[in-house]
Amino acid sequence: MTFEWDDKKDEANQRKHGLIRLEATAIFASEVLTLEAPGLYGEVRQISYGQIPASVVIAAVVHTDRNGVTRLISARIASRKERNLYHAYLARKIGPAGSDPG
């Protein structure tokens, strides 16, 4: 998977949400739940939930496809509701071990 981003927007995202693009791209290396992001942007945007490797953090990454390249728009730590959604997805896909312990 090839990624691109706007460096200024990435810096602003880091200040606001504390996640860097490297963490955001890392979620795509494992099990990811991707849904269409709500809103009108003039392009199809998706939001993907996945775990940052070697961490318990579940990230929410908004992105779009531009000619086969995944353009990162924003990344943040997933809310409790989003974590529950992701863990429910894992439980359906790979079994109860993917459920949230708390």
CATH number of the domain where residue 27 is located: 3.10.450.530
Q: Check pLDDT > 60 for residue 72.
A: yes
43 within some domain: yes
Question: What pLDDT is attached to residue 97?
Answer: 55
100 within some domain: no
Whole-number Å distance between alpha carbons of 33 and 50: 7
Q: What is the mean pLDDT of residues 26-37?
A: 93
Higher pLDDT, 43 or 33: 33
11 within some domain: yes
99 within some domain: no
Higher pLDDT, 23 or 50: 50
96: confidence class by pLDDT, cuts 50, 70, 90: low
State both tokens at 86.
């992701």
Instruction: Specify burial of residue 43 (Cβ count, 10 A radius: 0-12, 13-18, 19+).
Output: exposed
Whether this model's pTM surpasses 0.85: no
34 within some domain: yes
50 within some domain: yes
Domain range for 61: 3-94
33: confidence class by pLDDT, cuts 50, 70, 90: very high
Question: What pLDDT is attached to residue 99?
Answer: 47
Structural domain count, the chain: 1
